[in-house]
Amino acid sequence: MKPDLAQLLAAAQLAADRAAAFLLEREGRLGPDAWSEKRPADFVTEVDVAAERLIAGVLRDAVPGSRVVGEELSPEAPAAGLTWIVDPLDGTTNFLHRFPIYAVSIAAARDGDLLVGVVAHVPAGVRYHAVQGGGAWRGHERLAVSEVRDPRHALIGTGFPYSELEQLPLYARQFAAVIRGSGGLRRPGSAALDLCDVAAGRFDGFWELALSPWDVAAGALLVREAGGVITDHNGGEDVIGRRGSVVAGNPAIHAWLKRLLADASAGAA
């Protein structure tokens, strides 16, 4: 591994570990009176904000001069140069209900080129990482996407458009098409972990209509380094430049899922 990538990975892992410990300490301590909504059903708490401050401090100390784009404190920060793309708590609703699917997601990119990604599955005590050109890993286990090619055998992950209800009619058509065409459908509630599941071959494919860069940056690198494909619904490879759609999977299921979603979007499925 190149020395600069090793430094970035070590910084991201340290920040993820510290944030994970912080989140575990506070799980179950916040009642609904402490929750606020950024968008409908998109909750944020003092824990999200404090976790992002903690992560940003670790990353800036480790790599002086680097920028942090984070969901809570700096969502509009410029992404040029060396930039950290951070979701301090992916799956806030799960965290608030003590449903054990939530994560810390940290990626490093230079001028939009993903270099390092780390995702910590907090309740499970599991950490995933990927380095550009160095593979995708769960601890010391190298990951690879599944070899499933028949959609009827495929397990597909998804996310619901709770915060953008105007997309429900489109999503309903897509949902129906995937239900008809696949072997199963799941919605755990953390896009970062969904993409880890694609990288690990547990999900054969995944799609969601509206995700932000911090939701997918680390997971996107994991998928690609595990041999998978991740694009927007039109096939564009830039999934961290703006909020938008995501389709991921092993090469065969990604191609099938992208075609299926396009047909459903056009009302043909």
Domain ranges of the chain: 3-142, 151-265
- Find tokens 């940290």 and name the residue: 106
pLDDT number for residue 28: 74
Beta-bridge mates of residue 188: none
DSSP 159: -
| Dist. CA 180–CA 200, nearest whole Å | 24
pLDDT number for residue 42: 47
Return the CATH fold of 151-265.
Answer: D-Maltodextrin-Binding Protein; domain 2 (3.40.190)
For domain 3-142, the CATH superfamily is: Fructose-1,6-Bisphosphatase, subunit A, domain 1 (3.30.540.10)
269 residues of the chain, pLDDT tens digit each: 665 999 999 999 999 999 999 999 988 766 566 555 555 544 567 888 899 999 999 999 999 999 999 987 776 655 678 999 999 999 999 999 999 999 999 999 999 999 999 999 999 999 999 999 999 999 999 999 999 999 999 999 999 998 788 999 999 999 999 999 999 999 999 999 999 999 999 999 999 999 999 999 999 999 999 999 999 999 999 999 989 999 999 999 999 999 999 999 886 44
Assess contact for 222 and 143: CB atoms under 8 A: yes
pLDDT number for residue 41: 44
Fold agreement (3-142, 151-265): no
Give all strands (DSSP E) within the chain, no chain letters.
36-39, 42-44, 67-70, 82-90, 103-110, 113-121, 126-131, 135-138, 141-142, 155-158, 184-186, 205-211, 229-231, 244-249
Closest CA to 174 of 93, 257, 97: 257
Among positive and negative, which fits the CA dihedral 23, 26, 29, 33? negative
Q: To which H or E segment does residue 261 belong?
A: helix 251-265
The structure's pTM equals 0.92
Q: What is Dmax (Cα atoms) for the chain?
A: 52
pLDDT number for residue 165: 81
pLDDT number for residue 134: 97
